[in-house]
């Protein structure tokens, strides 16, 4: 018969973290080295299982992000065609990407249009006069959510205020100031064409950035709102 063994403490870097309490083993007729190796083996298996589970979850998440239905792919293509037409100042093509009865609303300024004639009037008052997008416009993607009939685009909208931006800063002469603002656009689709656009941004932040509003004593910020968003993107996507 093997001698009676008592293991009063089993402490290692791994066991100290995963097994913080003292374990007492008595009446075990097993060599200490065998017991130690068995515990280490079990701990290694547990850690590998956790790593494998996390890897599987990560792969599933990445796969879900990459997989789009044909309808969703068409929506993204049609939206990009709509944006490209706006950027190029092509009024006819812009309108051709929309349904016969669309609407568009820039929430902070109440500028837009309802119905085909209303939307056409909106674009006609801006695009031919270079009052729609500034020449150095940059759109930094943050997130995009798509279903069968709607797309939500979260971006950081960056430009230098060298021309009038008629839908965001109407009747305000160029200030030459740099503007960077988080912006969300909600776009509806029907039969592959745009039914509506609802556009949201923090107008107080824009006015601070062009020097028309002082943030002193107010719970508002200027370009810091965009910088914070970029900081979050950098930390969460690295």
**Structural domain spans, the chain:** 5-66, 70-237
Q: Which CATH class is domain 70-237?
A: alpha beta
Cα dihedral 74/156/209/216 (nearest 10): 120
Separation of alpha carbons 181 and 225, rounded Å? 7
What span, in angstroms and rounded, lies between the C-alpha atoms of 190 and 102? 10
- The number of angstroms, rounded, from the C-alpha of 158 to the middle of its chain's C-alpha atoms is 16
pLDDT score recorded for residue 34: 66
pTM of the model: 0.71
Largest distance between two CA atoms of the chain: 99
Would you write out the chain's pLDDT as a tens digit for each of its 238 residues?
444 444 434 434 444 444 444 444 444 445 666 667 777 667 676 666 555 555 555 544 454 456 788 888 899 999 999 999 999 999 999 999 999 999 999 999 999 999 999 999 999 999 999 999 999 999 999 999 998 899 999 999 999 999 999 999 999 999 999 999 999 999 999 998 999 999 999 999 999 999 999 999 999 999 999 999 999 999 987 6
C-alpha 70/C-alpha 184 separation (Å) is 24
pLDDT at residue 37, rounded to an integer: 73
Tokens of 66: 């990459």
User: What is the reported pLDDT for 7?
Assistant: 40
The two tokens of residue 190 are 């029907």
């Amino acid at each position: 018969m093997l001698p009676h063994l008592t293991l009063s403490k089993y402490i290692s870097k791994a066991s100290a973290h995963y097994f913080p309490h003292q374990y007492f083993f008595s009446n075990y007729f097993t060599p200490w080295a065998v017991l130690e190796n068995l515990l280490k083996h079990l701990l290694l298996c547990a850690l590998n299982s956790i790593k494998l589970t996390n890897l599987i979850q990560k792969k599933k998440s990445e796969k879900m992000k990459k997989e789009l239905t044909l309808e969703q792919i068409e929506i993204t293509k049609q939206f990009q065609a709509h944006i490209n037409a706006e950027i190029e100042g092509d009024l006819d093509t812009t309108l051709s990407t929309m349904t016969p009865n669309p609407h568009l609303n820039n929430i902070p300024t109440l500028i837009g249009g309802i119905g085909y004639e209303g939307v056409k009037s909106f674009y006609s008052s801006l695009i031919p006069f270079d009052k729609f997008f500034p020449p150095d416009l940059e759109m930094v993607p943050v997130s995009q959510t798509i279903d069968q009939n709607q797309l939500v685009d979260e971006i950081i909208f960056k430009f230098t205020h060298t021309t009038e931006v008629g839908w965001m800063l109407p009747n305000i002469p160029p200030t030459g100031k740099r503007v960077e603002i988080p912006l969300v656009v909600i776009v509806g689709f029907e039969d592959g064409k745009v039914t509506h656009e609802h556009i949201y941004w923090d107008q107080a932040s824009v006015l601070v950035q062009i020097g028309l509003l002082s943030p002193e004593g107010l719970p508002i910020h200027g370009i810091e709102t965009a910088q914070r968003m970029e900081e979050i993107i950098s930390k969460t996507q690295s």
